[in-house]
Amino acid sequence: MVPDSPEILIQGGLAQNVSYSAKISREILQILAHVKVVQPIGDNLDGASWIAENMLEDAPPLLRWAR
C-alpha cells in the first residue's frame, strides 16, 4: 500500500452488518487496490461536509456523479 493512500469508509445502516461491509470492502479493493478501507468516525452528513470543504477537485471514480 502507498503511504499516501486515500482512505475510504462505508457508512449507512447496512454498513453495520459485518458481512455486508466486508463484501463491499473486497469489491472496492479489487478496483482500487491502493486505498485503505477504514472505520467511520462520524455519520453521512459529517462525511458530506468534509467532502464539500476538502475535495475541491474530482477524485475518480469516487465523485464522478457529483458533476
| Residue 58 CB partners (closer than 8 Å, separation 6+) | 64, 66, 67
What domain range includes position 32?
7-58
Q: Between the CA of residue 50 and those of 7, 21, 30, what are the distances in Å?
A: 13, 22, 25
Residue 66 within any structural domain of the chain: no
Residue 11 has a pLDDT of: 83
Residue 67 within any structural domain of the chain: no
Residues 7-59 pLDDT 10s: 888 888 888 899 999 999 999 999 888 999 998 888 878 878 888 888 877 77
Residues across the chain: 67
Residue 1 within any structural domain of the chain: no
Number of domains present in the structure of the chain: 1
